[in-house]
Amino acid sequence: MIGAEFNPYLGREYSREEVWEAIQKYEIASCVEMEDYVAQAAKLISEGKIIGWFQGGAEIGPRALGHRSILADPRRKEMKDLINSWVKFREAFRPFAPSVLWEHQTEYFALDVPNPYMLMACDIHKDKWGVIPSVTHVDGTGRVQTVMKELAPQFHSLIEEFYKITNVPVVLNTSFNIKGEPIVETPEDAVECFLNTGIDCLVISKFILSKEQGELDT
């Protein structure tokens, strides 16, 4: 099991007040603060929304590991093209990674050891290619991230909630940035990326921001 000494989430955490101050700098169609933001985020993903997910301290290293991530439903084949075209603004062939609950990893992937840093690719079981098509590469592999409750409790809870809704313990995970830009670090970075891309909703701390018209409510 991964110990605390290997925790990659070493970036600065932002307080509720700092996040709210950042949100107020922008014109947001709808903003709601919710205690059940994790379950709401999972519901939005299951409905086909593309989500910006900004929680806790940023991860270090070359991959987004569920603290500064763009998330979507891996069951929807069209998500790969949608995110490449309307969010990342990059080539259509570029793949996306699956993030899976550790408890269910071997049901989907030919990998029986943890891979929490998304550094290894492995085969996806052939009977799952059609279940998670938007994270299945053309050769039937995926660069999987193992999500463990001890290491990433909020992200683990999100995928658990998605699993309850869909019976699929996997989400599409890509870095929270656009082509040529670094991964977002500050709340302001996150809001600007949300507003300037095809991301549907931003879940930042307990706030859920949407581009749909609605009353700003906290």
pLDDT tens digits along 38-62: 999 999 999 999 999 999 999 998 8
Q: What are the boundaries of each domain within the chain?
A: 11-95+128-134+153-212
Mean pLDDT score, 6-33 = 95
Residue 149 has pLDDT above 90, yes or no: yes
Average pLDDT of the residues of the chain: 93
Per DSSP, the residues of the chain read: ---GGG----SPP--HHHHHHHHTTS--SEEEE-TTHHHHHHHHHHTT--EEEE-SSPPPSSS--SSEEEEE-TT-TTHHHHHIIIII---TT---EEEEEGGGHHHHBS--S--TTS--EEEBPGGGTTTSGGG--TTSEEE-EEE-TTT-HHHHHHHHHHHHHHS--EEEEEESS-TTSPPP-SHHHHHHHHHTSS--EEEETTEEEESS---EE-
> What integer pLDDT is reported at residue 201 of this predicted model?
98
Mean pLDDT score, 116-120 = 93
> What integer pLDDT is reported at residue 216 of this predicted model?
35
Topology of 11-95+128-134+153-212 in CATH? DHBP synthase (3.90.870)
pTM, full prediction: 0.94
Mean pLDDT score, 154-173 = 98
